[in-house]
Amino acid sequence: MSRRLFVTGMFAALSSAAPVAAGAVTGRPHRGAVLRARPAKVSIGKRTVSTWAYDGRLPGPRIEATAGGLVRARLVNELPADTTVHWHGIRLDHRMDGAPGYTQQAVRPGGMFDYVFTAPDPGTYFYHSHVGMQNDRGLYGPLIVADPHEPLGYDEEFTVVLDDWLDGVIGTPDEALRRLNASTAHDDTLRSTALGGVVGELRHPYHLVNGRAADAPEVFASKPGRLVRFRVINAAADTAFRVALGGHRMAVTHTDGFPCAPVAVDTFLIGMGERYDFLVRLGEGAFPLVAEAEGKGARAFAIVRTSHRAAAPSSDVRLRELTQRMLRYADLKARRQDLLPRPSRSVTVTLGMRPSGNEWTLNDRLAADPMRLRVERGETIRIVLDNQSPMWHPMHLHGHTFQVRTSAGPQGPRKDTVNILPRERLNIDVRADNPGEWMFHCHNLYHQEQGMMGTLGYGPETHRMKH
């Protein structure tokens, strides 16, 4: 059987070695993706909502690259606000990282910016705005980096972008944040044992697979017997998902872009900013692909169909897979060539919550006066994440992929986003091989905007860019 690598390619980011002025918009014609960030009405199933999106699409266009090749994408800002694009998980030139105030000035309304960078590592990534609450609107899309020497054999692949949605339904994300800031309480009804307690800040009225709600679900059409790779991306602001495919066991093969020894499980939990790839050999029928909004009593839902005759599953179908064997970080083993050297020193990052209940801290500091971890180029350091706050946090480091050191030994997975539960301590090792000033933050967007943002920087601190 032939392997179809790119099933929905729209904008190929061509590999090319042509030199380009980084970031500058040159007079030369632009080759590559164009992302027009603009207000749009989009259908999320039976409902149409007003939001901000790239090219009026939800998710934004799929961008494809080849490992070692260039990605070119021109951001055109047609929003009534500043914006940037962050390339989540990519170990790129820091000037292209889209971190406003750190690596670039945000792009003003009417302006544009050319992102041009090499994508060194193959895998499943995504891009999103890094300004304010814009990532809880529609400003995100998948970025898939192909491996020219792909070792996995499979027949077909599908990308599954998960999201929690409120924009244009119960106001805007900025209004939701203002409500949270006016309150000191947390919704104690949003709970999960797997996440160690309260799971999130609010209930989003919809949960989406590839921009579609359960009332008009995405359908992945395939054939019985095919070996299929699913690339799952959690682009949500405040929701972890528990993912399972009815009637199938899955072999998890990658997390956050990087390969791991395949693990057979029934389900996995994916935090905001994380990615998982899994393989399944499809049976014959119409199968529910369910992503439970963990602890929120709601779900995202899609259908995997390999038979025209089979009746569609109901979106509220009970799946036994959701309660069976769930992936743990300790199950994941990196390849030998992806193991980082032993760290030469360690630093502790304490995750905290102020008594206000709506300010989240790293080493007691808020984003306005951020914690800075200083590293020197070439060293490997251990970061001890010590969660003293009452909630779990998906911590994300820009520009690097760290190694999670689990209780299962030194071969933990390479990741860029890791969930840490309340009262948990977790070691991650980082090799300082990509100079710059990098954001290190919680990928719960509400926590990020309530202060949980620090930096990892090389050498002495130089002056920070003015916003």
Q: Nearer to Cu ion by C-beta: 40 or 385?
A: 385
Q: Give me the least distance between CB of 449 and Cu ion, in Å please.
A: 10
Q: Nearer to Cu ion by C-beta: 159 or 444?
A: 444
Does 214 engage in binding with Cu ion (CB under 5 A)? no
Does 393 engage in binding with Cu ion (CB under 5 A)? yes
What sign has the CA pseudo-torsion 261, 262, 265, 271? Answer: positive
Q: Which residue, among 236, 66, 53, has the nearest Cα to 144 in the 3D structure?
A: 66
Does 202 engage in binding with Cu ion (CB under 5 A)? no
Q: Nearer to Cu ion by C-beta: 51 or 444?
A: 444
Q: Which range, of 176-184, 228-236, 244-252, 435-443, touches Cu ion by CB under 5 A?
A: 435-443
**Within positions 115 to 144, which residues make up the interface with Cu ion, using CB under 5 A?**
none
Q: Give me the least distance between CB of 360 and Cu ion, in Å please.
A: 6
Q: Give me the least distance between CB of 414 and Cu ion, in Å please.
A: 22
Give the end-to-end CA distance of the chain in Å, rounded to a whole number: 53
Print burial letters for 98-122: b (CB count within 10 Å at least 16), e (below 16).
bbbbbbbebbeeeebbbbbbbbebb
Q: Nearer to Cu ion by C-beta: 255 or 444?
A: 444
One-letter amino acid for residue 302 of the chain: A
Q: Give me the least distance between CB of 393 and Cu ion, in Å please.
A: 3
Q: Nearer to Cu ion by C-beta: 303 or 456?
A: 456
The runs of H, that is alpha helices, within 285-373 are: none
Q: Nearer to Cu ion by C-beta: 253 or 444?
A: 444
DSSP 330: G
**Within positions 288 to 347, which residues make up the interface with Cu ion, using CB under 5 A?**
none
**Within positions 58 to 87, which residues make up the interface with Cu ion, using CB under 5 A?**
none
Cβ-contact 323, 290 below 8 angstroms: no
Q: What number of chain residues touch Cu ion (CB under 5 A)?
A: 4
Q: Give me the least distance between CB of 382 and Cu ion, in Å please.
A: 21
Token pair belonging to 126: 């995504």
Question: Which residue carries 């080849």 as its tokens?
Answer: 66
* DSSP line for 348-361: EEEEEE-TTSS-EE
Q: Nearer to Cu ion by C-beta: 382 or 393?
A: 393
Cβ-contact 275, 231 below 8 angstroms: yes
Q: Which residue, among 461, 435, 436, has the nearest Cα to 372 in the 3D structure?
A: 461
Q: What are phi and psi of 221, to 5 degrees?
A: -95, 130
Q: Which residue, among 341, 40, 8, has the nearest Cα to 161 in the 3D structure?
A: 8
**Within positions 436 to 465, which residues make up the interface with Cu ion, using CB under 5 A?**
442, 444, 447
Q: Nearer to Cu ion by C-beta: 382 or 447?
A: 447
Q: Give me the least distance between CB of 395 and Cu ion, in Å please.
A: 8
Q: Which range, of 67-75, 227-235, 282-290, 387-395, touches Cu ion by CB under 5 A?
A: 387-395
Q: Nearer to Cu ion by C-beta: 200 or 343?
A: 200
Which strands sit side by side in the sheet containing 123-128, from one edge to the other? 11-12, 63-66, 140-146, 123-128, 86-88
One-letter amino acid for residue 340 of the chain: L
Residues near Cu ion, by CB under 5 A = 393, 442, 444, 447
